[in-house]
């Protein structure tokens, strides 16, 4: 850093989005105070206020790249923690709409590591930065502002059972997640709520862990996503401590999933592809099951707000909470941290408008992918345009073509991993391959794909 760090930033929420924001704020501010209402564990274990930590989390290639940019030794450090670096096309079994995407070296880098371990790593690294203080067990209860409300000047925080304290700041970052009170706090200062888009896919998750024998499976992750003909899926991710984190997914109103061990394992045997079941049939179970019924996906359009106070930005799930089935949340939080860094280069004045404008562009693609995918299910309410129908029909062909054509598979995974924009799937060379490769009837492709190792990875994963 050539310039002097000065002033104070306060970050509300010490989860992935808040900590990554703190990482970039520490380059600019002399003091960065990160406040969380939870008790933050020293070990990489799930915690009360982040219940999704019990469930498998995939890190997309774009997120991996962003984390490497934010932490120079990210790759080596996470391997030391037991993380498994993967090539996302070669080391993952992908079943989309019943089609197995052909495995191949893709250059798309991902990481298999549990959510608590990823957060724990980021927390440790951020806490060690000069000027950073993390205050656990403190709840943010409101904002401080100038008398006319045009500038946020800090936050009111309250330790459990203690008195409210005022924390002055030159910048406040709200990273308090899905259930954030940002709109209420803004209303208290006289601001209209930002427009919201909401989509309810009625997702249900049940996760169990099993002992993993390193090298026994050619895959570090196996993903069988639900699709309209099959509203159930399963994701198994190899994580540190030689464990498989196995999540059953269901998509639909009133859907339930089995949590009891025998039923859980039997359920995986009734899915179109047998390979997760084959792993579980002989695996030792660990611990208890965890269930989660997911709240709606919400996107807040701060970029369109007529008025916003200076000195306050929101990030992470507080701005956009996605359907987690697409594995985008941590990646978008990391990309938003890089955007915040770039926007801070011009100072704090006008930061909210600058940040939200750029963040909106960043969120557009993952939101379109998630909402477009959700709208394939009849029960999901939302505007279905001709464009949505056309894109979804084309993506169906992409999945079919990707069974035999690794180039098409890579093009699809580059978009799903936020490394390329969706129009890249319409490049002439890809369209030609998709049309050629999707000519085989869907049912035939599904049967072949579901029951045989088409283009399977050959390298055992340690």
Q: Which of 264, 233, 410 is nearest to 326 (CA)?
A: 233
What element of type H or E holds 206?
strand 203-211
Task: Judge whether 393 and 386 are in contact, CB under 8 Å.
Answer: no
The residue within the footprint of ligand FAD, chosen from 10, 11, 16, 279 (CB under 6 A), is 16
**Residue 177 binding ligand FAD, by CB under 6 A:** yes
CA distances from residue 353 to 28, 110, 155 in whole angstroms, order as listed: 19, 32, 20
Between 51 and 441, CB nearer to ligand FAD: 51
**Residue 329 binding ligand FAD, by CB under 6 A:** yes
Minimum distance, C-beta of residue 157 to ligand FAD, in the bound complex (Å): 7
Minimum distance, C-beta of residue 429 to ligand FAD, in the bound complex (Å): 30
**Residue 185 binding ligand FAD, by CB under 6 A:** no
- Beta-ladder partners of 94: 223
Between 95 and 401, CB nearer to ligand FAD: 95
Helices 61-70 & 329-344, crossing angle to 10 degrees? 40
φ, ψ for residue 286 (rounded to 5)?
-125, 130
Four-residue CA torsion sign, 399, 401, 406, 410? negative
Minimum distance, C-beta of residue 165 to ligand FAD, in the bound complex (Å): 13
- Count the Cβ atoms, other than its own, within 10 Å of residue 353: 15
Between 151 and 178, CB nearer to ligand FAD: 178
Near ligand FAD in 294-313, by CB under 6 A: 294
Stretch that binds ligand FAD, among 44-52, 98-106, 359-367, 433-441 (CB under 6 A): 44-52
Stretch that binds ligand FAD, among 53-61, 90-98, 261-269, 453-461 (CB under 6 A): 53-61
Between 415 and 430, CB nearer to ligand FAD: 415
- Beta-ladder partners of 134: 34
Minimum distance, C-beta of residue 342 to ligand FAD, in the bound complex (Å): 19
Minimum distance, C-beta of residue 386 to ligand FAD, in the bound complex (Å): 31
Site string for ligand FAD, 201-230 (x = CB under 6 A): ----x-------------------------
Task: Judge whether 234 and 246 are in contact, CB under 8 Å.
Answer: yes
φ, ψ for residue 352 (rounded to 5)?
-55, -50
Task: Judge whether 367 and 359 are in contact, CB under 8 Å.
Answer: no
Minimum distance, C-beta of residue 137 to ligand FAD, in the bound complex (Å): 9
Q: What region does 443 belong to: left with phi over 0, alpha with psi -120 to 50, or beta? A: alpha
φ, ψ for residue 91 (rounded to 5)?
-100, 5
Stretch that binds ligand FAD, among 29-37, 360-368, 375-383, 393-401 (CB under 6 A): 29-37
**Residue 13 binding ligand FAD, by CB under 6 A:** yes
The tokens 């939080």 sit on which residue?
333
Between 175 and 434, CB nearer to ligand FAD: 175
Q: Which of 150, 195, 151, 193 is nearest to 172 (CA)?
A: 151
The residue within the footprint of ligand FAD, chosen from 25, 26, 28, 58 (CB under 6 A), is 58
Minimum distance, C-beta of residue 315 to ligand FAD, in the bound complex (Å): 7
Between 35 and 172, CB nearer to ligand FAD: 35
Task: Judge whether 362 and 332 are in contact, CB under 8 Å.
Answer: yes
C-beta nearest to ligand FAD: residue: 329
How many CA atoms within 13 Å lie on the side-chain side of 376? Answer: 22
Point out which residues bind ligand FAD (CB under 6 A): 12-18, 35-38, 49-50, 52, 55, 57-58, 139-140, 175-178, 205, 292, 294, 316-318, 324, 327-331, 333
């Amino acid at each position: 850093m050539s310039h002097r760090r000065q002033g104070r930033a306060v970050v509300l929420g010490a989860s992935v989005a808040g900590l990554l924001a703190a990482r970039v704020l520490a380059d600019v501010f002399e003091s960065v105070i990160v406040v969380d209402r939870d008790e933050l564990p020293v070990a990489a274990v799930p915690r009360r206020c982040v219940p999704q930590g019990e469930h498998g989390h995939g890190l997309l290639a774009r997120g991996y790249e962003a984390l490497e940019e934010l932490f120079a030794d990210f790759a080596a450090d996470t391997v030391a923690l037991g993380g498994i670096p993967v090539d996302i096309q070669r080391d993952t079994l992908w079943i989309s709409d019943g089609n197995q995407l052909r495995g191949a070296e893709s250059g798309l880098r991902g990481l298999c590591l549990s959510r608590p371990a990823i957060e724990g790593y980021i927390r440790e690294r951020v806490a060690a930065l000069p000027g950073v203080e993390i205050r656990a067990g403190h709840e943010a209860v409101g904002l401080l502002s100038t008398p006319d409300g045009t500038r946020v000047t800090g936050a009111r925080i309250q330790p459990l059972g203690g008195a409210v304290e005022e924390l002055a700041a030159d910048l406040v970052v709200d990273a308090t997640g899905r259930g954030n009170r940002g709109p209420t706090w803004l209303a208290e200062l006289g601001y209209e709520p930002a427009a919201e888009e909401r989509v309810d896919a009625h997702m249900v998750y049940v996760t169990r862990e099993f002992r993993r024998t390193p090298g026994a499976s050619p895959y570090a992750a196996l993903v069988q996503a639900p699709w309209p003909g099959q509203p159930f899926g399963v994701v198994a991710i190899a994580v540190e401590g030689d464990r498989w984190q196995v999540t059953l997914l269901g998509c639909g109103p009133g859907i339930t999933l089995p949590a009891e061990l025998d039923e859980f394992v039997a359920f995986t045997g009734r899915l179109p592809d047998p390979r997760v079941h084959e792993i579980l049939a002989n695996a030792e179970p660990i611990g208890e099951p965890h269930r989660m019924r997911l709240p709606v996906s919400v996107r807040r359009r701060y970029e369109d707000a007529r008025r916003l106070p200076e000195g306050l930005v929101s990030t992470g799930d507080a701005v956009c909470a996605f359907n987690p089935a697409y594995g985008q949340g941590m990646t978008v939080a990391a990309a938003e941290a890089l955007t915040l860094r770039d926007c801070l280069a011009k100072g704090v004045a006008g930061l909210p408008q600058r940040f939200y404008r750029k963040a909106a562009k960043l969120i557009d693609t993952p939101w379109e992918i998630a909402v477009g995918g959700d709208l394939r299910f009849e029960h999901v309410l939302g505007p279905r345009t001709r464009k949505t129908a056309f894109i979804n029909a084309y993506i169906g062909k992409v999945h079919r073509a990707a069974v035999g054509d690794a180039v098409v598979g890579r093009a699809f995974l580059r978009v799903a991993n936020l490394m390329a924009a969706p129009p890249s799937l319409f490049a002439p060379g890809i369209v030609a391959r998709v049309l050629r490769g999707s000519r085989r009837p869907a049912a035939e492709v599904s049967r072949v794909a579901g029951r045989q190792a088409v283009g399977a990875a050959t390298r055992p994963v340690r």
